[in-house]
Structure 1
Amino acid sequence: MIRVLLADDEALIRAGVRAVLAAEPAIEVVAEAPDGREAVEQVRLHRPDVALLDIRMPGMDGLQAAAEIRRVVPETAVLMLTTFSEDEYIARALAEGASGFVLKTGDPRELIAGVRALADGGAYLSPKVARRVITHYDGGHLTRGAQARERIAALTEREQDVLRLVGSGLSNAEIAARLHLVEGTVKAHVSAILTRLGLRNRVQAALLAYQAGLTD
C-alpha cells in the first residue's frame, strides 16, 4: 500500500485529489493538511511514502514545506501540484528536493502515475510540465550540450547506463531488471551519480541526461 499525505489550502481541491487517489486500490491517503506547516507535522507523524503538496499555500508554502520534509523525513518523496502560471517555482522546487510535478488540471492518470513513480523510488514530470521544464533549463540554468557531456564523462560506464535509464523515467526496480542488477546496487549507483555530479534528486539527474543527449 502506498501511503500519501495530501496538502492543499483549498478543501475542494483536496476532495477532488482524494477522490482520484481513492479510485486506486494500492494508494491510501493517510492524512490531509491545509497548509505547509501542518503538512510537515503530518509527515512527521505518519511517515507517508509520498507527500503531495500544493505550491501555493498560506503561511509555509509548498516549497518551504518540501525543503523541511526532505530535511526531517528524507524517505518521504515530494510530489508538487502546480499550474501553468507557476513556471517560476519549478526551479525552486527542484532545488528544495521535489521529485515530481503534476498539473492540477491534468489527466487524473498522471496523478496516479506520479504517486506510483515516486513511491517506487523514481521521479515524475507531467508531460506538459516536462516540456516547460526542459525549455526553462535549455535557457542555461543547467549545463547544456558539451558541458553536460563533460560532466557525465566522470561517471563509469555502468553509472552512465543507470543515468540514461533514470533520464527515461525508470524506477530503481525497472532499471535493475533492465540491467540485470539487484535493486540495492541500482540504488547505490543512483546515490553515487547524484553525489558525484552535485545533483539534488532524480529530476535534476534526468534533466542532465537530457542535456547530455542520453535521452530524447
Structure 2
Amino acid sequence: MNVLVIDDHSLFREGLRLLLAELGFGIDTQIAGSCEEGLEKLRARPADVVLLDWHMEGLSGADAMVAIRELVPQARQIVLSGEKSAALVRTAIDNGAVGFIAKDSEPETLLLALNTIASGGIYLPATLLSGPARTTPAGESHLPSELTHAFPELTQRQGDVLAAILRGLPNKVIARELNISDQTVKSHLSVIFRQLNVQSRTEAVYVCARQGVRIA
C-alpha cells in the first residue's frame, strides 16, 4: 500500500513515517511538506491513502482535499489536525475524508488509528462515536471484512455504492466506477440511508466507523 503524508511540520511527518513502518503491512510511505509538493508526488505516483494536515500555508483544508480527489479520486483521505472540534471533524467528513486523527493523540492512539486505516477501516475520535453498535454473531470478527457482513440487508451492489461513499467518491465517479447511471447511484443511496437510518453521507461514515467496518 502506498501512503502519502502531507504535513508542514517535519518532525510530525517523519514520526508518522516511522509509525507506519512499525505496522508491518508492507506500507511504502512518501512525505511532503505542503499540498503543492504532495500533488507533485501524486502525479508521479498515485497513493492509496493520503494523510493530510488540515491547517497549512498555501493550499490547505477543503481546497486541498478537492485537489487531491480530482488528481487521485481513488485515494482515501485522512485529515490530521491539532484542532479536534466536532465541527471540524464533520467538515472533513463532509468533504470526503474517511478518517480524522488529532495531532495531540498519544502514540498508542496514533498506532491504533494508523492500524485501523491501514487495515481498510475508518478512524474517528472515540468521543464522536458514542451510540449503540450492532451486535455481531458469535464466532464472527468484530471487524467485518465486508460491508455486507455488517449490513446484511444491503445487496452486493448497494454495498459497492456504500464502500465508494466511504472512500469519499462523488456520485459521478461512483457511477463511472460501477458502470451505472447517476440516477441509479441516487436510488441506491436512498436505500442505503434508509437501511442505516441516516440522512447523509457524513452520518453514514459515522455509523460505519462505529460499526468497525472495513472499506477494503
TM-score, structure 1 normalization: 0.63
How much has 1:14 moved relative to structure 2? Answer: 1.1
Which of 145, 168, 173 is the equivalent residue of 1:173?
145
Q: Which stretches in structure 1 are left out of the alignment for 5+ residues?
A: 135-162
Match of 1:50 in 2: 49
Once the two structures are superposed, the pairs formed by residues 1-216 of structure 1 within 5 Å of their partners are 2-84=1-83, 87-128=86-127, 130=128, 173-177=145-149, 185=157, 187-188=159-160, 190=162, 195-196=189-190, 197=193, 199-200=200-201, 203-207=202-206
How much has 1:112 moved relative to structure 2? Answer: 3.8
3-state SS of 1:75 partner: coil
Q: Matches of 1:43 and 1:114 in 2, distance apart? A: 23
The higher relative CO (CA closer than 8 Å, separation ≥ 6) is in 2
Is the CA contact (8 Å cut-off) linking 1:63 and 1:93 kept in structure 2?
yes
3-state SS of 1:47 partner: coil
Counterpart residue identity of residue 104, structure 1? K
How much has 1:30 moved relative to structure 2? Answer: 3.0
Equivalent pairs counted in the alignment come to: 174
Counterpart residue identity of residue 195, structure 1? L
Percent identity over paired residues: 26
Could you report, residue by residue, the CA deviation over 1:52-97 in whole angstroms, capped at 9, with x for unpaired residues? 0111111011432212222221210011112245554323212211
Is the CA contact (8 Å cut-off) linking 1:36 and 1:61 kept in structure 2?
yes
How much has 1:126 moved relative to structure 2? Answer: 2.5
Q: Which stretches in structure 2 are left out of the alignment for 5+ residues?
A: 136-141, 165-184, 194-198
Match of 1:146 in 2: none
Could you report, residue by residue, the CA deviation over 1:136-182 in whole angstroms, capped at 9, with x for unpaired residues? xxxxxxxxxxxxxxxxxxxxxxxxxxx969xxxx877243455679x
CA shift in 2, pair 1:100/1:209, >3 Å? closer
Structure with a larger share of its residues in helix: 1
CA shift in 2, pair 1:57/1:86, >3 Å? farther
3-state SS of 1:60 partner: coil
Q: Matches of 1:194 and 1:66 in 2, distance apart? A: 25
Match of 2:169 in 1: none
How much has 1:194 moved relative to structure 2? Answer: 7.3
